[in-house]
């Protein structure tokens, strides 16, 4: 998911701080999410919020996570 989130953010001309502010989380935590360095699985509520921020279905976020895991 990390590359997908990065691409979505850049496509929408947003900074990590912009996204973090919309999600009501720290920029540092969002950076961990985007880099795939979060310590726990992403919650469903976080995926829902991300889908709203980037205007994409949650299923696309899940697919991108699966595709990255399979490739890694």
H/E run at residue 59: helix 58-71
At 53-67, the pLDDT tens digits run 999 999 998 888 666
CA distance readout (Å), 19 to 15, 53, 66: 7, 7, 22
At 7-43, the pLDDT tens digits run 999 999 999 999 999 999 999 999 998 888 876 778 8
Q: What is the pLDDT of residue 68?
A: 52
């Amino acid at each position: 998911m990390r590359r997908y989130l990065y691409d979505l953010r850049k496509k929408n001309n947003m900074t990590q701080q912009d996204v973090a502010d919309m999600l009501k989380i720290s920029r540092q935590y969002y950076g961990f999410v985007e880099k795939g360095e979060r310590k726990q699985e992403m919650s469903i509520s976080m995926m829902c919020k991300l889908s709203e921020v980037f205007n994409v279905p949650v299923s696309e976020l899940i697919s991108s996570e699966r595709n990255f895991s399979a490739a890694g």
